[in-house]
Structure 1
Amino acid sequence: MEQISNGMSADLLTDVQWRKSRYSGAVGNCVEVAQLPTGEIAMRNSRFPSGPALVYTREEIAAFLAGAKDGEFDNVLH
């Protein structure tokens, strides 16, 4: 695997297991995540699996998930 950087092609992230939520639709409109060997978390759009991957630290993902569970982003869909 080459140097990991935010926005790199997800195709370059080899040896990772991409996962998506069981709530995802069957038509490929999903966000997929993968834990990287560095401990960071990568995200990609399942409609464009070779497109860019956004790379976050574990702390960034933990903060986002805590906010989502607490309802901080409930107004995004309104």
Structure 2
Amino acid sequence: MTLYQPEPVEISTRIRPGEWTEESLEELVGTYRTRIMEMGANMAEVSTDIERNDDGSVRVAVVWNKPANAGDEDAVTGGQAV
């Protein structure tokens, strides 16, 4: 039996100016999303936030927003089939 923990799971990083390109940023986001999905998230539960700063740096966060109860799909999909 696994203890369900409803807290969000986040993978995030900040990349300094000049250390990223649009292509590398897209690849990084894809990697983070894949890792979150391997942990058990479905697409409806995963959000991505990319913050581009004035200094040329970027902050990336991919978050698994878990439902309040394990198996509570309606909380995520609004009762609709996904």
Q: Between Structure 1 and Structure 2, whose CA radius of gyration is higher?
A: 2
State the TM-score bracket (shorter-chain normalisation).
under 0.3
Q: Larger strand proportion, structure 1 or 2?
A: 2
**TM-score (structure 2 length as normaliser):** 0.27
User: Which structure would you say has the larger RCO, counting Cα contacts within 8 Å and 6 or more residues apart?
Assistant: 2
Q: Larger helix proportion, structure 1 or 2?
A: 2
